[in-house]
Amino acid sequence: PDGREPQWESTVREQRETNKHRLSDSSEAEYVELRNRRDSELPMPKLILHALQVNILGGRLPEPESNGKRYLKFPLDALEGAAWE
């Protein structure tokens, strides 16, 4: 990103220095406002509904149905901003 070369490792210090959302440069209120503003502009993650279903089940997949297959189920038009819109 931003014209930087790929790196295969970094230090915590380097991560803090390149993180434009770091808390150390702002108050907690400023950080929360920054994150809320930025996050409100991002689309819903494409696999959020899949992940939620598995997370609600404590990391387990749904039980197999009569055909032996496991399915994640959700209505496609349930959430505004979903990737399929």
State pLDDT tens for residues 62-79.
Answer: 999 999 999 998 776 767
36 and 49 fall within a common domain: no
Count of domains for the chain: 2
User: What's the whole-number mean pLDDT along residues 34-54?
Assistant: 86
Instruction: Name the least confident of 11-15, 30-34, 76-80.
Output: 76-80
Percent pLDDT > 70 in the chain is 76
Residue among 49, 55, 54 nearest 85 (CA): 49
pLDDT at 1: 67
53 and 72 fall within a common domain: yes
Whether 64 is covered by a domain: the verdict is yes
Read off φ and ψ for residue 39, nearest 5 degrees: -65, -30
Instruction: Name the least confident of 23-27, 35-39, 48-52, 54-58.
Output: 23-27
Whether 27 is covered by a domain: the verdict is yes
pLDDT at 21: 63
Amino acid of residue 49: L
The pTM of the full predicted model, rounded to 2 decimals, is 0.48
52 and 74 fall within a common domain: yes
Whether 62 is covered by a domain: the verdict is yes
Q: Do the Cβ atoms of 2 and 19 come closer than 8 Å?
A: no
Which domain does 55 fall in, by range?
A: 45-78
